[in-house]
Amino acid sequence: MTAEENARRLEYLKSIVSSLPESPGCYQYLDDAGKVIYVGKAKNLHRRVASYFRPEVDREKTRVLVSKIMDIRYAVVKTEQEAFLLENSLIKKYTPRYNVLLKDGKTYPYICVTKEDYPRIMTTRRVNRRFATYYGPFSHLGSMYAMLDVIKKTCKPRRCNMQMTCEGVSQGRYKSCLEWHIHNCKAPCTAHQSHEEYMLCIDEAKEILRGNTREICRSAHNRMQALAEEMRFEEAEEMKQRYMLLDEYCSRSEVVSNTINHVDVFSIISDENAAFVNFLHVISGSITQALTFEYRKKLDESDLELLQMGIIEIRSQYGSATNEVIVPFDVEMQLDGVTFAIPQRGDRKKLLDLSLMNCRQYRFDRLKQAEKLNPEQKSVRLMKEIQSTLHLPQMPMWIECFDNSNISGSDAVAGLVVFRKLKPAKRDYRRFIIKTVNGPDDYASMHEVVERRYTRLKEEATGNEQGANFPNLIITDGGKGQMGVVSDVLRDLGLQVPVAGLAKDNRHRTNELLIYDETGSIVSVGLKQDSELFHLLTRIQDEVHRYAISFHRDRRSRHQVHSHIDDIKGIGEKTKQLLLQKFHSVRQIKDADLETLEQVVGRHKAQLIIDNL
């Protein structure tokens, strides 16, 4: 599209916007093929649509959407609630490219009650409203099967798959099966149970599925008392068993409060790409539905917009008609007969906290699942977290960490470990023997090691792309002093590499991460000790500590078994073993004459030993 054509397009669209009414309604954006690419709602159509065409729009995704709009359609409604409902139906109808779409968990199972003369009750993952009435979906299979078990024991619906009809029963077409003989079914197929009695049992099962278990339980208790007063003790005993089963199920159900009756609870958490909306449906103080839904963001939608959409769509999808909805913040919407509450304390606040916990857990599970399929995704996420936390100019694809090791200055060494994409690159590990420092001076040792390391890298980087041969982050296993030493060396070498430090408390446990702020001062970054980032940094710290100590132990062990023979050039390890096997000690080797030594190691090596010892 040329600049002239684009100007004509914008002029045409702005002429439509200028004539839009200041009323509630829905608007639709169409592309050059006449396809709906976005559907939105508004309290004020003119104000909302005009906001897309302002020059100060700062969201890149919104600018992309506007660049593809060729025409605008709209519909005016009476109330904001009608705008919500119309938007929801239009999104389902057109599935526009730039609208978020609800991932409704189609694999969640349902309990269905079939629409037959003698209905069956079963589980399914396929929904066909013409065939049955559906209850659910159930995100927790255990609770679903527990409910089914109660229904089977108390209501005893038929378990066979026969297509039973009232006409077939009256004509005696069916035979009772084993389920009748073991008292799992009352055999409506052979008229041992009348059709009216069977349908009463199905109605009770539906009430249990709706969550009205306590009402059924009270009814069973009253019926038991009445049968006992009429001295129908066998029937009363049967009703008692039924009451006990229902009462036990009620006590095992998650009862949140006896004062909360019919309530919906919604909460939301989001990240850059997706939002997760949790829905709890509470009936008679018990949670009967607990589901979390995922929305994929298309245009950087806010949590407010997504939660408003989720409330309308989820309540519509699951047929909720509660008069109270608990939300985490003001949703700025009105629904007929519905009150929105933002609890600060009490049972309703506990419900909201439970909903938020479900949101976080669902998001965590999805993240873990994605990271199993794509292991690099976790590394990228953590690197972005490090970059954000430490305010780094680039993602830390290459991290180096130093540590010193010595005992009172003896056998002083240092270790360097390298992590590439947060994985140890052991081929790049380096060991350093401290050459210029006498005594236990950690700062001077660190200065020598860092200077040797980056002077070498600087020489290797000559002629290469700037920065290609240097790490994105240097971590010191120490506090402000170690960081200062490393920064001084880098400054002297003319290098700009971010430096961080891991400091320990008086119990030698890592307790803070130190970085330089914008003013050049060292500040502490708060990290939760159960966070993934903290575990990653302590893993790097433990690795460099292990590497430096193991090198120091090797050096110390070699010195402990060192002898004068080790200093003789031309005498290797095998020759040394032959001599010790023959003479057993260095003193006896010294006392041996040339002829004796020749018999063991030959004339040339024997002469070397005589000359040096």
How sure is the predictor about 508, in pLDDT bands with cuts at 50, 70 and 90?
A: low
Question: Average pLDDT of 313-325?
Answer: 83
551 shares its domain with 601: no
Of 339, 370, 401, which one is at a domain's C-terminal end? 370
Tokens at residue 164, please? 């039973």
Q: Does residue 44 surpass a pLDDT of 70?
A: yes
440 shares its domain with 496: yes
pLDDT at 254: 47
Does 257 reside within a domain? no
Q: Does residue 258 surpass a pLDDT of 60?
A: no
Number of domains in the chain: 4
463 shares its domain with 587: no
Does 337 reside within a domain? yes
Say if CB 454 and CB 489 are below 8 A apart. Answer: yes
pLDDT at 120: 92
Residue-wise DSSP of 323-363 = SEEE-SS------TT-EEE---SHHHHHHHHHHHHHHHHHH
Does 176 reside within a domain? no
552 shares its domain with 571: no
319 shares its domain with 449: no
Residue-wise DSSP of 540-553 = HHHHHHHHHHHHHH
426 shares its domain with 331: no
Of 516, 536, 558, which one is at a domain's C-terminal end? 558
503 shares its domain with 540: yes
Question: Average pLDDT of 307-319?
Answer: 84
Tokens at residue 343, please? 């609890």
Question: Average pLDDT of 32-55?
Answer: 86
105-153 residue pLDDT tens: 445 688 899 999 999 999 888 878 888 888 866 656 666 777 788 888 8
The DSSP element (H or E) to which 201 belongs, if any, is helix 195-210
pLDDT at 102: 57
500 shares its domain with 591: no
Q: Does residue 369 surpass a pLDDT of 50?
A: yes
Q: Does residue 554 surpass a pLDDT of 50?
A: yes
How many CB atoms sit inside 10 A of residue 275's CB? 24
Question: Average pLDDT of 455-468?
Answer: 69
574 shares its domain with 551: no
Does 277 reside within a domain? yes
Of 58, 74, 99, which one is at a domain's C-terminal end? 99
Range from 197-211, 217-231, 279-293 carrying the lowest mean pLDDT: 279-293
Question: Average pLDDT of 12-40?
Answer: 86
What CATH number is attached to the domain comprising 510? 3.30.420.340
How sure is the predictor about 607, in pLDDT bands with cuts at 50, 70 and 90?
A: confident
User: Higher pLDDT residue, 410 or 265?
Assistant: 265
Task: Give me the domain span that covers residue 63.
Answer: 3-99
Question: Average pLDDT of 487-512?
Answer: 81
Global pTM reads 0.47
What CATH number is attached to the domain comprising 47? 3.40.1440.10
Does 306 reside within a domain? yes
Q: Does residue 409 surpass a pLDDT of 60?
A: no
Question: Average pLDDT of 91-95?
Answer: 77
498 shares its domain with 433: yes
Which stretches of 164-300 are assigned E, i.e. beta strand?
A: 263-270, 274-283, 286-296
Does 155 reside within a domain? no
pLDDT at 597: 74
347 shares its domain with 397: no
Does 121 reside within a domain? no
550 shares its domain with 569: no
Question: Average pLDDT of 12-23?
Answer: 84
The mean pLDDT of the chain is 80
Question: Average pLDDT of 229-256?
Answer: 72
